Chain A
């Protein structure tokens, strides 16, 4: 019983970890390469979720909805960079925090006007809503498994893109010394816009995968944004590899803590108190983990070389 429960929770932890990674991957590059505190990345998650849900409702086909939503999230990232973000690179962190905070307010309100304040529910097609047996007598939802596979595949894709391709070399050079990279003939503006748009689409994909698992509502991206900021700090700002490891770590700690902390707390306090305090304490654990790591390694686990 406990082994199957543990296994199930480990899978859930990995699933939330890879989702978190998709948000954090773009954000760590935005923070690291562009030195930009971008708080509206959670809004990209929301845009992705709403785009997929909206197109699914419109076309009646889940896959077509996703297919149409991905270019939209790319376009929204591209447009956002072109209109607002490119003016913020040279500003100090404080101003970036405020401007992107303003973006959060704007996007949440825009969605509220467009779709109403109530939550939307995104239904999975029958082909994705079944269960598979990961162990005998341990059924696991197919869709969560698919999320894990897509997350891992995208993680490998990002790794190849950054570490093995010409584009990735430019990205890494841009991170180390943007002025010198520009002097060597790389169009640093286009490079930034490209990273930003790809980051936005990855966050959008995270939103699309979250949509059927949770509710789609205005402001849904913010908890994910805060968690992915924690992931980025733990992993080291600018490090995609660090973001991946930290994301899985945070996903596991959060999920497993949420399930097992109430059980452990019951040893010290009444059942109802433990049930109430458990999830909140599990949320706290992530921040304690981060604080402990930062005390010993002030620049995170895998600070990028440069």
Chain B
């Protein structure tokens, strides 16, 4: 009870996140009333992408480490499920445990090697490790190589996932837990120091703290969160292939974070929603203007991305915040 109370208190400190999580939780009620089961599927995809982006945002937004290889951890998480099933382990809890352990272990190795470098070198070495893992899974012919492998939805002891709604709420609970965990991390001693490192690393070092230890810890945590998202993703898609760890997927994760707002706790979730809405509606919009080219929605999305980078500082969350401030100011003056 005490823990629940404290959790709710923390959630209240970030109303945007609270509203989003509530919205995801209540969404199936709406879809069942409006008879739109397809949108449950979309919502699950958004939650999974958002979860992975939340994990990446810990190092990217709060730690200032531009990791260009986090899709690899999603892949490792997903393959943890596929490969476990291949060897006859059907327990979903074990799958998640394996995903977390493997991602944390590999994240530790990559973090230890990559965090020796800075700036462009760091971006590139994380990309290189992700590519290495990508080609590793392509080379594993036993597990389907390039073509990937089919995955059955795992059973979680007494709960099995034959009903899509059960998977929906499993993902939702995971997202809730990850959000809460991140809020706790960000507001903790550790989180404050991590953000301090982002602003001024040498000052943190001068205080007698080892910046590297904090950065590696954050990196491992974010890898594990992406692994969890990957394991659930495998259950959702019922299929795993190296494609989910392609380097452009890592780029996609970054896009989601920047769209929503870097270093806002709710930013990745907003970004994930906007990203999928764009993917869904840009083709339809194009269909009205130029029906022949509705497939080519990237021609609008690309320049849009450039515009977001050039003209907005802090993504959609920053815009919301400004609007909110303006409204409250107006209320105060009247």
Contact = CB atoms under 8 A, between A and B. Distances in A.
Interface of A: 31, 35, 37, 84, 87-88, 91, 93-95, 97-99, 101-110, 112-113, 222, 226, 229-230, 232-233, 237, 272-273, 276-281, 283-284, 287-288, 290-291, 294-295, 298-299
B145 A276 contact: yes
B119 A113 contact: no
Contacts of B254: 94, 97-98, 101
B293 interface: yes
Contacts of A106: 298-299, 302-303, 306
B131 interface: yes
A105 B128 contact: no
A230 B145 CA distance: 24
B306 A84 contact: yes
Interface in B278-313: 293, 296, 298-299, 301-306, 308-310
Given A98-B258, A102-B306, A281-B135, A93 B125 contact: no
A55 B293 CA distance: 25
A294 B117 contact: yes
Contacts of B301: 102, 105
| Among all A-B residue pairs, the 8 with the closest Cβ atoms | A280-B139, A106-B302, A102-B305, A105-B302, A287-B132, A109-B299, A276-B141, A109-B298
Interface string B130-150: 011001101111100100000
20 contacts: A94-B66, A95-B309, A98-B251, A98-B254, A98-B308, A99-B305, A99-B309, A101-B251, A102-B303, A105-B298, A109-B296, A226-B131, A233-B121, A237-B121, A279-B139, A280-B136, A288-B132, A291-B128, A294-B117, A294-B125
B151 interface: no
Contacts of A229: 124, 127-128
B135 A233 contact: no
B247 interface: yes
A88 B310 CA distance: 8
B293 A277 contact: no
Contact of A233 (B116, B124, B298): B124
Interface string B241-259: 0000001100100110010
A110 B68 CA distance: 25
A298 to B, nearest CB: 5
A31 B121 CA distance: 10
A233 B128 contact: yes
A110 to B, nearest CB: 6
B296 A113 contact: yes
A167 B267 CA distance: 46
A237 B138 contact: no
B310 A87 contact: yes
B120 A93 contact: yes
Given A113-B299, A295-B113, A276 B139 contact: yes
A283 B135 contact: yes
A102 B304 contact: yes
Given A233-B128, A237-B120, 12 more contacts: A84-B306, A93-B120, A93-B123, A95-B309, A97-B66, A97-B68, A104-B302, A233-B125, A283-B131, A290-B128, A294-B125, A295-B113
Interface string B87-119: 000000000000000000000000001001101
A277 B255 contact: no
Given A91-B309, A94-B254, A294 B132 contact: no
Contacts of B239: none
Given A229-B127, A230-B128, A280 B135 contact: yes
